[in-house]
Chains A and B, each alone.
Chain A
């Protein structure tokens, strides 16, 4: 018998159906990751006992850890399936959908909330138009190092999955979205729109709901300094408020 990889997958047939577990034994190949396991199941959709089952549904796109699509809980840790190398995982490998977002089918969840929240915090730089207005404002290369890091956020939701304050029933916008607010506040043009953005960030479900559990920063696959970012955003809010009060 050739070498196999043991996998347990938490499945759910539709958004409101009950969850159940299925065990698989998938032929081993060198260099496998969790994606290639799921691809293996599709090519021979049978559970460990040999019974035919429906192939597993999951979400994926780039497989280079820059799109955020294939995020799931692997052996209890939320991460991207594409960078989860089989050789580095304890077996049986346990795959579960993220728990903070509603399940659509099997390992696929609905993360629309992240994108709605980006809308909520004015997650953009407002410019006058898309016609040629010459070069943009000069920017300090040191600032670019910070903004590039923030801008690597792929809205995967890892920081929300591990956040004790972020639940399916509350409104908290989560660390990633706060990081994006900080990013736009740092852009020379985006900075002009900071007061309005900060107002949005302090609305219901905003920055004040952060409990400083500091789990987000440990879970971020892009190593974005989320705790530091939330602190910087707090400072901006305080300064803007104090300055605003002084002006009055």
Chain B
């Protein structure tokens, strides 16, 4: 059976879901992970997992979930995979319940659901406030079951460094490095699944785990895998500032009634409890009456950042606003949010049940990722058992989870990531099984396995011997600070050009960096040179794509090219609405495109191309979370249709 071995890189939700499904379909799996899979970054997801199970009598449906997801992503997501995901979501949640995930229950013993940002429905199943951890454990246990049966081999504390491609360019294996003995080994397999998570550490201190280098992504990208929508990275509105990382207060804190506010008067030095209600500015509630504190993440992040940096209303003039839960009873908060409030108290030493939390936006998630394709059926859903679902442009190489570019478009809705990881993981399990069935699988010649291994070992030896004056961890800190300052909350072309120069200078300095440690055992510093090289490579793709995209879309905010909606007081007869919609349609024409970054070995920067988005189910319309523009848009479109213009 060795020719039917699947190599899964990454043991978070996506990788483990793919592994268990592939095993069920008769395949054998090798899993590679930099940490024990139970310690993967999926554990950090707190709030929940979305699926329109509709147990609250609200008339929710998978189609409404689909519409919310597409709109939330500003129409940049290809629609067939999203539709299939939303339709499968209730069954995925039921599956996770059946395999033992400790979801919260209603008094009747059913799954409980909460409300999250970007939707009006209770659609988010949750397990305490560590839903990601609980889901990961559920999958980890299933994979352990297969492991006990000999169907899974785990290589934990190993790092993937290279794809092995045959003469036709098909995947036939990988090279990986044992991070204790530092030895390299080749592994043959007919399919490689890259479930390696996001590339967050290029932004320095973020909500990501210390393993989210994106270096596996970078290695595959350098070997020709396309990277989709690199510029689309999400900022989480409610980060907790910290010395080692930015921790996160889940969106569920807003979902359970958390109110965001700042002192109404600039320079107000009083303590929070000395400020009377009338002098508190609940700016999200006032500016977005329909969604209030539950506006989508990109809007919340921008509003919070700008009220501090542009309006100067941050607490004590700092970059911080209040996230206030003190109006809720302690009992309620303990039950609904216990674990996440514990986190705040543990790391800040203040009880958020008694004192409002201080928060500020933090880099959180990459919507972009390795280009994952799909095959649609005649109804515009994923064609079941197509080997092409989740396959990248390189045959036999799959991308899944945060590592892929699908499902979230330009902005991800809260609690959709856990669903997309598990759903796409299960799909990938089916895809690789179909690939095994449909095609004669290529076998890697042992000479190729050995030459690729040898070449990786040589590259590492070179890194190990590097002895320049630069410290790679210092370069990383500078990279993170620069990316966060110039490429995160708002983007300006002059700053991005400057940032390109800075990133190029880090690449130069990396050549003069030292490995710091010459040891042949558990050497974290020498491998960091490789990881940092990956971060720099991918940050070039992010910055270049951000510079080229002259518009605002989802998480990509470039004020110079903004097309703001008329204020909600503007009568719908006002020509301002027509002008706004005309510009919206023009921008859609130009920019409703998937960015594709391709590595060009002859150049130091990527080649950027664009690909049309599959919008077969839902035509783009302006995102409107104020509730006023809806009528105006309808009027505008009716008029266009009446005058015979193409819609």
Contacts and interface: CB of A to CB of B under 8 A. Distances in A.
A129 B25 CA distance: 10
B147 A15 contact: no
Contact of B98 (A36, A118, A127, A183): A127
Interface stretch (A37-45, A165-173, A202-210, A226-234): A37-45
B209 interface: yes
A63 B244 contact: yes
Contacts of B144: 115, 118-119, 123-124
A9 B103 CA distance: 41
Given A43-B471, A130-B20, A132-B91, A63 B247 contact: yes
A73 B525 CA distance: 23
B521 A144 contact: no
Contacts of B247: 63-64
Interface in B497-523: 516-523
Contacts of B439: none
Nearest to A221: B346
A133 B95 CA distance: 8
Contact of B525 (A39, A55, A122): A55
Contacts of B516: 42, 45, 54-55
A214 interface: no
Interface in B80-136: 91, 94-95, 97-100, 102-111, 127-128, 130, 133-134
Contacts of B210: 60-61, 63
Contacts of A104: 180, 521-522
Interface string B284-310: 000000000000000000000000000
A96 interface: no
B134 to A, nearest CB: 6
B182 to A, nearest CB: 10
Interface residues of A, number: 72
Contacts of A33: 242-244, 347
A32 B245 CA distance: 11
A111 interface: yes
A69 B37 CA distance: 11
B264 interface: no
A35 B242 CA distance: 11
Interface in B603-646: none
Contacts of B21: 130
Nearest to A156: B39
B578 interface: no
B105 A124 contact: no
A147 B108 contact: no
B24 interface: yes
A82 B39 CA distance: 14
Given A62-B43, A134-B94, A148 B127 contact: yes
A106 B24 contact: no
A145 to B, nearest CB: 9
A152 B100 contact: no
Interface string A25-67: 0000111110110010011110000000011010111111111
A184 B101 CA distance: 10
A133 B133 CA distance: 24
A10 interface: no
Nearest to B34: A61
A189 B94 CA distance: 14
B364 to A, nearest CB: 13
B600 to A, nearest CB: 33
Given A63-B209, A124-B142, A132-B91, A189 B244 contact: no
Interface string A66-109: 11110000000000001101000000000000000000111010
Nearest to B44: A62
Given A44-B471, A54-B517, A118-B144, A136 B94 contact: yes
Given A57-B524, A124-B141, A190 B133 contact: no
B145 interface: yes
B411 interface: no
A181 B327 CA distance: 40
B522 A61 contact: no
Interface of A: 13-15, 29-33, 35-36, 39, 42-45, 54-55, 57, 59-69, 82-83, 85, 104-106, 108, 110-112, 115, 118-119, 122-127, 129-130, 132-141, 144, 147-148, 151-152, 154-155, 183-184, 187, 189-190
Interface of B: 20-21, 24, 35-36, 38-41, 43-44, 91, 94-95, 97-100, 102-111, 127-128, 130, 133-134, 137, 141-142, 144-145, 147-148, 156, 180, 209-211, 241-245, 247-248, 339, 343, 346-347, 349, 426, 471, 473-474, 477, 516-525
Given A13-B519, A130-B20, 13 more contacts: A31-B243, A43-B473, A62-B39, A65-B343, A66-B133, A67-B43, A83-B347, A132-B94, A133-B94, A138-B110, A139-B105, A144-B102, A148-B104
19 contacts: A32-B243, A32-B244, A33-B242, A43-B471, A55-B524, A61-B210, A62-B39, A67-B35, A69-B36, A118-B144, A124-B141, A124-B142, A124-B144, A135-B97, A137-B98, A138-B105, A141-B104, A141-B109, A154-B43
What are the 9 closest A-B residue pairs judged by CB atoms, nearest first?
A: A105-B522, A138-B109, A14-B521, A124-B141, A136-B97, A54-B517, A125-B100, A136-B98, A67-B39
